[in-house]
Every structure is written in C-alpha cells, then in structure tokens.
Amino acid sequence: MSNTHQERWTRVKGRLRAEVGEDIFSSWFARMELEGVDSDTVRLSVPTRFLKSWIQSHYAERVLACWQGEEPLVRRIDLSVRSAGVRPAAMAIRAAGAVAAVTVRAEPSAGPIAINGHSGPVGMPAASSAGQDAVGGSPLDPRLTFDTFVVGRANSLAHAAAKQVAAARRGDPVMFNPLYVHAAVGLGKTHLLQAIAWAGNAGGERRVLYLTAEKFVYGFVSSLRTQTTLAFKEVLRATDVLLIDDLQFLQGKSTFAEFSHTLNAMIDAGRQVVVAADRPPLDLENLDDRVRSRLAGGLVVEMGSFGEDLRLEILQSRVACARTHHADFDVPAPVLSFIAKSVTHNGRDLEGALNRLLAHSKLTGQPITMELAEREIRDLVRPQEPRKVKIEEIQRIVARRYNVSRGDLLSSRRTANVVRPRQIAMYLAKTLTLRSLPEIGRRFGGRDHTTVLHAVRKIENLVGNDVSLAEEIEAIKRELQE
C-alpha cells in the first residue's frame, strides 16, 4: 500500500475524530485499519464482528463522506473483520432458533430474577420483593437499569454490547456469544448485567436470568443435596439469556463442570450468555483451558476506570435521582466537582460519598458545604495506585512496536524478528506483573517455565550492556504505565 494512501487514511481519521469527538472515535474507530484502496473502493478492517456491524449500521455514511473529503473518487467502503487474533468461534453467528426453545415465562407481575447481594445507587427506592423461581431467585435491584447507567469512554463499548443483547428478540441471530465484560471492582459490571435483565425481560418475550457465580454454586450444590440437579439444569438451560456475575467466585470442581456444560449447552443452542468478572477470561486460573477459551471466543470487553468527567456525570445523575425523593438534597456544583476529583476509586465509593452527604443533610438539616464534604469523605480519598499491567497489554504493545502480531509472539515461530520481541514481552511480564513463570509460559502459547526464565535472563543481560535496548524497554514500560 502506498504512503499516499496511509497519509490519506491518517487525515480521514483526523476528520472522523473531529466530527464524532474523541470518546466515540476511540470507542469505535481506534482499532480500524486501512487494508488497501482499489480504484473507487477503500478496504478497511476492524478486529471484531460486533465493531463491524456497529460501524456499518451507525457510521458507514460518515466514514465514506470523510474519505470523499480526502479523495472524491471513492465510492465504496468495504469493511471486513481482521482474522489475526480473532478466534473462529467468535465469528460464528449462531441461529437462536436452532434448537427448540423451552420457555419458562416469568409471572407478569414479577421482575426479572436476580440472585445477588449488591446495593444500588443512593436516593432510589429499595428493591421490592417478588416471587421465587426454581433456582431460588430473588428480584433484581430496580435501581440498576440502563436509564441510570452513565456512559463514557470507559464503558461505551460494553454498554453498547449490553444494549444490543437486551434489545435482541427471540429468533434473532446471536451476534457475540458469550459477551464477556471485565473490569476492576465497582466499575459497573453488576449494574450493566442487571440493566440487561430488566430491559431484556421488559418485552415479556424472553426469559432473562441473572445469577451471581456464588448463587450458581449455591443453587447447584443444593440441587445435588436435594437430588434435583435435573430441575436446576433445566431451569438454567430454558432461559434465553443467562447472565452470570462475578465469575471469579465460581468454586468447586463439579460446579466448574456444571458451569462448563451450561455454557456449552446455551451457546450451542443459540442462547445468549453474558458473563462479568474482575479479570479477562485467560486470567481465570481455576477454570480449565477449554472453558477459558470458550469464554474468550465471544466478545470480550473491558470497562476501564472512570475518568473525572464520567465520575462527575455519575454524581450529577445520582443527585438528580436522590432529589426525586429528597427534594431539599442540594449539593453545590463545586462540592460535586471536588468529589469527582478526589474520590477516584470506583462507583461504590462515589455512592458512599453521596450517601454520607445525604445522611448528613437529612439528619442535621444543615446545608452541604465544601468543608463538610471534605470532612465526610476524607477516608474515601485514596492515594493513586500504580496502574496494573496485564500480560495481554504487554503482548499487544510489544507486538505493535516490533511490527509483529500478537499471534506471532504466542506462536512457535523462531525467526529472529519474533524471538527477540517475544523475549522482551516475557521479561516485561515477569518484571511488571505478579504472574509466576509457569503462568507466563502458559500465556505465551503454552511454553515451559524454563523458556520464560531463559528469556528473562537473556534480556536482563542484554539490558546491562546495550543502552539502546535498555532505552527501548524503558519506553515500552512508560507506554504500559500511561
């Protein structure tokens, strides 16, 4: 491909960014690449089927217009899904109607079933109670809906995917299965899963079941005890959409096996599975390789930490909600900005901060001032922790820098242009993460721990003698820590 095309592509991206804004650009277009230009057709690619379909249905004309702004002869955009690093399973569209659906309808008065122990946003009515179901369900928290979920750069992809799952109808092809959402504590995984359950069940056409992994374990173990495992399995597999929260808490060999059967049965029958966890699928060390790879074979989306803007918006929306029940709850804008700036950890701390102010205002009737806020939330202001680096990120950044693919780093190829970057990536994985040598070996295409050790020693030696390599590695580290 000529440099002119690449330069044009850079300018087209500039136009797109200016038109849609940084947030949308980085959510949808940052991973779009130019594959080539053939007479009047521009070939672009994205890494997932979901991105492709989203861009096609929402931005196709805009992308074309931006190209035509640079090159008026362009008539067509051909968007494809890049194969590198994408598992074939992720691509398969499964027909939802492939297996006869067994339907268990919720009673009209009962909300979607939830089994959880989460609390919700400040200022909203508490969860109401509804009926039990065959796996011991309890109602979802009515506060955790799409309406109360604030969307920003950190979560826009997960939100869009969740909305799509919720809006799908029985018989629609399942676009990505499972949808796997991961994020650190308190960044909205439960909120999003419950929002899917509420919205998904609203039409009454589909049965959406929300289960925490803990409750899955509990339900399964009690069904073993009471010899009702068949009923347990049937209820799970009769759902159209199964939402499993906090998967990292799944425990027990037979429970893993049951989870694996359920996952496979649901996906093979074209039913949607959505999973949330605090880490990516490949880091779920308790699960066996097949389950991990099945989980990684759908759409895996990370929700990042909240930026200050998103924190402020969440606070503003919470205050607005709270005011519907406590009309005199007034938090001055500078106080909200102060909280958004200083309570940086997660959504739960933001909620805690507002709860304290609300309690104070209700109990004392005094206005909320900056001084009061500073005093009340002092312990929620945590020092910034250094950013945690993930092996996947190391592989991605090293691969990009040395112009190889992540697949090359994981492959058995032994050509010099791949061996050195692979050793550097292993060295960084050992020095920047807490992962053990065997774990790192496993994450680099199933290598032995001695290979990792060899790589680490090799790079340590080289760095001592080769200033430019040392600088290069420092630059990669800086990029990873940004």
Ligand X SMILES: Nc1ncnc2c1ncn2[C@@H]1O[C@H](COP(=O)(O)OP(=O)(O)OP(=O)(O)O)[C@@H](O)[C@H]1O
Binding flag, residue 120, ligand X (CB under 6 A): yes
Whichever of 139 and 347 has its CB closer to ligand X, that residue is 347
**With the CA atoms of 340, 346, 350 and 353 taken in that order, what torsion angle do they form, in degrees rounded to the nearest 10?**
-110
Binding flag, residue 96, ligand X (CB under 6 A): no
Cβ(406)–Cβ(85) below 8 Å: yes
Binding flag, residue 189, ligand X (CB under 6 A): yes
Strands 241-245 and 208-212: parallel
Q: In terms of DSSP H, where are the helices of 100-241?
A: 156-167, 189-202, 213-225, 229-237
Smallest gap, in angstroms, from Cβ of residue 182 to ligand X? Answer: 9
Binding flag, residue 183, ligand X (CB under 6 A): yes
The three-class DSSP label of residue 80 is strand
CA distance 163 to 394: 30
Whichever of 261 and 341 has its CB closer to ligand X, that residue is 341
Residue nearest to ligand X (CB): 347
CA distance 212 to 248: 10
Binding flag, residue 140, ligand X (CB under 6 A): no
Q: Which of 191, 356, 390, 430 binds ligand X (CB under 6 A)?
A: 191
Q: Which of 155, 262, 272, 423 binds ligand X (CB under 6 A)?
A: 155
Q: Which of 112, 137, 139, 188 binds ligand X (CB under 6 A)?
A: 188
Q: Is 446 left (phi over 0), alpha (psi -120 to 50) or beta?
A: left
CA-to-CA separations, 210 to 72, 190, 330, 339, 381, in angstroms, rounded: 50, 10, 35, 32, 33
Binding flag, residue 240, ligand X (CB under 6 A): no
Smallest gap, in angstroms, from Cβ of residue 223 to ligand X? Answer: 25
Q: Could you tell me which stretch among 161-169, 178-186, 325-333, 387-395 binds ligand X (CB under 6 A)?
A: 178-186
Smallest gap, in angstroms, from Cβ of residue 155 to ligand X? Answer: 5
Cβ(350)–Cβ(319) below 8 Å: no
Q: Could you tell me which stretch among 57-65, 115-123, 265-273, 424-432 binds ligand X (CB under 6 A)?
A: 115-123
Question: What residues form DSSP beta bridges with 44?
Answer: 34, 79
Binding flag, residue 344, ligand X (CB under 6 A): no
DSSP secondary structure code for residue 382 in this structure: P
Q: Which of 160, 168, 187, 209 binds ligand X (CB under 6 A)?
A: 187
> Which positions make up the binding site for ATP?
186, 188-190
Residues binding ligand X (CB under 6 A): 118, 120-121, 144, 148-150, 155, 183, 185-191, 246, 278, 314, 347-348, 351
